[in-house]
Amino acid sequence: MSRCRNSFLRSLDTDKNLGIGALMRRVDDIVRSSDPELWQRLADQSVVPEYYSFRWLTTLCAREFELPGVLRLWDSVLADHEFLTAFCAAMVL
């Protein structure tokens, strides 16, 4: 649970391994390794991960889905913090 908390501490935003910036980089890394062509196309069009992943990560996708789906998602996120970055990357892919 403390790993989830670390993602939302402003003091960790510039940390390379913790904070929201690190989560956005992880989403970007997953997209890049899973679909290099898509990643390059997004980069060519200047679509940076902050445009989409910041909202998803900071709200834990609560604004993207109806409540029953969000509750199921949160159950997975609370069980495995890495699930959120993989889920966000999957929404791009």
CB of 62 closer than 8 Å to CB of 3? no
Mean local confidence (pLDDT), 25-50: 96
Domain ranges for the chain, please list them: 2-92
Percent of the chain with pLDDT over 90: 71
What percent of the chain lies above the pLDDT cut of 70? Answer: 81
The tokens describing 61, both together, are 């996708």
**How far, in Å, CA of 16 to CA of 23, rounded?**
9
Distance, in Å, from the CA atom of 80 to the CA atom of 11, rounded to the nearest integer, reads 23
Q: Is the pLDDT of residue 4 over 60?
A: no
Assessment of whether the complete model's pTM goes beyond 0.75: yes
Encoded tokens for 24: 């956005």
Residue 16 is predicted with a pLDDT of 61
